[in-house]
């Protein structure tokens, strides 16, 4: 997605979060954006987890920009944390979907 398209949406308030806070998980799973938005409207804990995910993505980005490699302990810690958060986000999303 072009950077300018994202910027236009970042100022939009979605379910109590700025779109910027959902941006990381939506960028990872763009096909699930509407599912994320719907669950975000109903679930405060889900919103919090998405915010944590965004913060962890930003932290990894800052560490890498500072020249740290994936082998660095801090990068590895945040990367593992991201994997845990992603599992939690996708699990909550799966549990929120109607069963057919």
User: How far is it, in rounded angstroms, from Cα 26 to Cα 48?
Assistant: 15
pLDDT of the residue at 17: 54
Q: For residue 70, how many C-alpha atoms fall within 13 Å in the half-sphere facing its CB?
A: 2
Q: Report pTM.
A: 0.77
Instruction: Measure Cα distances from 38 to 22, 35, 56 in Å.
Output: 12, 5, 22
Q: How many helices (H) and strands (E) does the chain have?
A: 5, 2
pLDDT tens-digit profile, the chain (100 residues): 443 344 334 445 555 555 667 889 999 999 999 999 999 888 989 999 999 999 999 999 999 999 998 878 999 999 999 999 999 999 999 999 877 6
């Amino acid at each position: 997605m072009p950077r300018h398209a994202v910027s236009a949406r970042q100022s939009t308030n979605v379910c109590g979060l700025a779109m910027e806070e959902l941006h990381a998980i939506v960028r990872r799973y763009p096909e699930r954006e509407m599912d994320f938005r719907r669950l975000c409207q109903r679930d405060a804990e889900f919103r919090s987890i998405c915010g944590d995910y965004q913060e962890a993505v930003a932290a990894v980005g800052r560490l890498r920009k500072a020249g740290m490699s994936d082998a660095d302990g801090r990068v590895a810690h945040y990367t593992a944390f991201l994997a845990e958060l992603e599992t939690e986000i996708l699990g909550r999303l799966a549990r929120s979907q109607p069963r057919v």
